[in-house]
Amino acid sequence: MKIAIAGGSGFIGSEVTSKLNQLGHEVYILTRKKQKEIGDSNVTYVQWLSNELKPEEELEGIEAFINLAGENLNSGRWTTSKKEEILHSRIDATKEVIRIIKALKKKPSVLINASAIGFYGTSKTETFVEDSPYKGDDFLANVVQQWERAASEASTEGVRVVYTRFGMVLDKNEGALKKMKLPFQLFAGGRLGSGEQWISWVHIEDVVRAIIFCIETPAVHGAVNVTAPNAVRMNEFGKTLANILNRPYWFPTPKFLLRIVLGEMSILVVEGQQVFPKKLEEHQFQFEFKTLTKALENTLKE
């Protein structure tokens, strides 16, 4: 297949690109700056997000579009300017994706648009699935809801739209786990916040496989929770991490201190929600990493 990826050089995008390349697909990565082609691989770089450019001319004939573009949520304290960057980086990129799709003579069959479980807001008691009648009203929830709304425009062009709502993605070198494991490595790890908040996690390999599964499965559309089917409480997450790293689990970090240090971004670690991948399960997607122990052992192996 001929597949375009916005955000193809980012954390998740680079893994998706690598896997698609291994499978023999032609990958077109949308980039702001001119990039050097990668040897004999099936990867082509296409410049975009400039009034002078018309990336649709190079993308004619694409069969699937993956939009992962957006400012990293963990890239700094959520100041007013950072929050604006988080929102507008997603909305602006998505609007350009829609513009490109509308400009193509032949439309792609599917748009896979990144999203997040922050859509649902936070709760210590609810279990959220794709058709749950709940929407959050905090900053992150509002960002995700606007993001999905912008992507929904592709459906007016007859394109199947999938919103992949990612949980906490486990990877050794990127994402939240990299920061969470450091205190444990320094023998200072412990509970974050109350310890009762839910962590809906997913291994990076299952994220990649789920994206490709959604492309290849025409019956999948709308919101799709990309989380492992076994969310855990923060206490269990921390104890499992400490055990695998062979470190103690003791120094608790109170919620108020996390809020002082992280600001509004602390919601990512002190609140949480239990999210179940109902739609992936209904379509017989097979998770490679269903348990946290197996996922962390694989992620943290030397």
Write out pLDDT tens, residues 47-63.
998 888 899 999 999 99
CA pair distance 50, 285, nearest whole angstrom: 38
Contact by Cβ (8 Å): 19, 37: no
Provide, rounded to the nearest whole percent, the portion of the chain with pLDDT above 70. Answer: 95
247-261: average pLDDT: 76
In this structure, of 71-75, 184-188, 271-275, the range with the lowest mean pLDDT score is 184-188
Question: What b/e sequence results for 258-282 when a residue is b if at least 16 CB atoms lie within 10 Å of its CB, and e otherwise?
Answer: beeebeebbbbbbbbbbbbbbbbee
For the whole prediction, is pTM greater than 0.85? yes
CA pair distance 147, 139, nearest whole angstrom: 12
Write out pLDDT tens, residues 64-85.
999 999 998 877 788 889 999 9
Write down the residue that tokens 């960057």 correspond to.
85
**Per-residue pLDDT at 302:** 56
- Residue 208 in tokens: 């990649």
Closest CA relative to residue 7, chosen from 27, 37, 36: 27
How many C-beta neighbours within 10 Å does residue 254 have?
13
User: Domain map of the chain by residue range?
Assistant: 2-300
**Per-residue pLDDT at 263:** 72
Q: Residue 275: CB partners within 8 Å, gap ≥ 6?
A: 117, 120, 127, 128, 129, 165, 167, 198, 200, 225, 227, 231
What mean pLDDT value characterizes the chain? 91
Q: What CATH code is assigned to 2-300?
A: 3.40.50.720
